[in-house]
Structures are given as C-alpha cells and as structure tokens.
C-alpha cells in the first residue's frame, strides 16, 4: 500500500521519502525540510501515535496527516488530539488523499532555514544538497542532519552522542559503527580526489568539521 501511495503522490508532482517503520519515520520527521508528513497508524516498531507525539514534543510542527486502517472514531480523535492536522480512515480514494495533501501544503507553507556555508561548502536546506564549487551532491535525510550539525558547530568537536541524536532522534539506539558508516559516506560527499577533506575524526570523542593545513 505504501509503495502504491508513493507512486500516486509522485505523479501528483511531489518528491517522496518512504519510511519503513515508526523509528525511521520519527528520525525523518525530526529533520528539517519536509513539507507534509503522511503517517500511518499501524507501523512496525513504533506506531503512528507514538511518532506524532514525539514530533510535537520536539516542536516539529510539519503538517501531518494520519492514515488509519481502522475505521474508528476513537483513532481519528486520538490522532488529532496528539497533534495531527488531519486524519483519514481507510478505505479512501487516492484522489482524496492527494487533495488533502495539497490542502495541508497550502495551509502551512514551510519556512526553510538559511543555507549553511563553511569554506567552499554550501549546504542547501530546501533541496538537501551539498554544493562544492560546481559539484552538487544529493544527501539522504540522515546525511543532511549529520552535516547540518557539523556545519553549525564548525571548528568545534561534536560528540558522537550529539550526532546520533541529530541523525536518528533521542530515543534511537545508534552504535558507533553505524555512525561511522554515515560519516564515511559524508567524507565521500564532501571531498573527491584532489579536494581538501574537512571532516576529521577526534578519537574517542567524536568528529569535527575544520580546515587542517597539509
């Protein structure tokens, strides 16, 4: 069902990122740059009610429509009380879902934060892209969240736990190995052969974005 909806929403002119479970949905929702969230209630690992509760507690006010497979007034009321902007019980016509997405987008235009810059790097908030000179690289939402945190604290050491919370949320259990994989991917985004690398490891503590002389 999720894949069917993704194709329909994309055909309506939107760019879509799909979360496979509630934990991933929460991590994506905590990142900046989403215009609208379509949130299922019955998700693996963490249900939609928990996701919307955590998002609103973290002051993430992205317009959110909950979709519930249970045609229950209680589910609709609970979702709205937890902070959802709309709630659509199944079964529903895809055209109705698309119209409600457009309505939420019109009602709540997103104010994007300003782009961040460090040396010759530019992090584009609207498109989640990293620009270096004429080179433009698309980032995943987790990569963007990690690099945004590093750029906001450029020149300082950012502890591993701070990066883990930025990338996956405060409730996520992220080990050092997982964080390292994403940092390694970011290094490849930041510098190709012949370019200066700005992302450095501070052993036992975390990572830092700074210019180091050769």
Instruction: State the DSSP string of the chain.
Output: -HHHHHHHHHHTT------SSHHHHHHHHHSS--S-EEEESS-SSS-HHHHHHHHHHTT----EEEEESS--HHHHHHHHHTT-SEEEESS--HHHHHHHHHHHHHHS---PPPPEEETTEEEETTTTEEEETTEEEE--HHHHHHHHHHHHTTTSEEEHHHHHHHHH-TT----HHHHHHHHHHHHHHH--TTSPP-EEEETTTEEEE-----
Among the three residues 56, 88, 107, which one is the final residue of a domain in this structure?
Answer: 107
Q: What is the pLDDT of residue 123?
A: 93
* 27 and 72 part of one domain: yes
Domain residues for 49?
Answer: 2-107
Can you give the pLDDT at residue 31? 76
- Statement: residue 108 has pLDDT above 70: no
Looking at the 3D structure of the chain, how many domains does it have? 2
pLDDT score for 214: 63
Q: Does residue 204 belong to any structural domain of this protein?
A: yes
* CATH of residue 59: 3.40.50.2300
Lowest mean pLDDT among 2-16, 162-176, 181-195: 162-176
Task: Examine the pLDDT at 68 and tell me if it is beyond 60.
Answer: yes
Same domain flag for 13 and 103? yes
Both 150 and 62 in one domain: the answer is: no
> Residue 214 domain-assigned?
no
Average predicted confidence (pLDDT) for the chain: 86
pTM > 0.75: yes or no: no
Residue 163 has pLDDT above 60, yes or no: yes
| CATH code for the domain in which residue 175 is found | 1.10.10.10
34-38, 64-68, 124-128, 199-203: least confidently modelled range: 124-128
Same domain, 186 and 102: no
Same domain as 125, residue 102: no
Q: List, for residues 113-155, the tens digit of each pLDDT value.
A: 788 999 999 998 878 899 998 899 988 888 888 999 999 999 8
């Amino acid at each position: 069902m999720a894949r069917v909806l993704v194709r329909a929403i994309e055909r309506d002119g939107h760019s879509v990122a799909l979360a496979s479970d509630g934990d991933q949905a929460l991590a994506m929702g905590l990142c900046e740059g989403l215009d609208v969230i379509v949130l299922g209630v019955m998700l693996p690992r963490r249900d939609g009610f928990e996701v919307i509760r955590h998002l609103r507690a973290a002051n993430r006010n992205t317009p959110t429509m909950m979709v519930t497979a249970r045609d229950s007034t209680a589910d609709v009321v609970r979702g709205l009380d937890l902070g959802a902007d709309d709630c659509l019980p199944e079964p529903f016509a895809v055209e109705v879902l698309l119209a409600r997405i457009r309505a939420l987008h019109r009602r709540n235009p997103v104010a994007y934060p300003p782009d961040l810059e460090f040396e010759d790097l530019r992090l584009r908030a609207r498109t989640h892209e990293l620009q270096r000179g004429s080179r433009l690289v698309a980032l995943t939402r987790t990569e963007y969240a990690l690099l945004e945190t590093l750029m906001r604290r450029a020149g300082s050491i950012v502890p591993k736990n701070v990066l883990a919370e930025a990338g996956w949320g405060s409730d996520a259990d992220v080990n050092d190995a997982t964080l390292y994989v994403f940092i390694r991917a970011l290094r490849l985004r930041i510098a190709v052969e012949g370019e200066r690398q700005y992302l450095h490891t501070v052993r036992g503590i975390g990572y830092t974005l700074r210019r180091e002389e050769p």
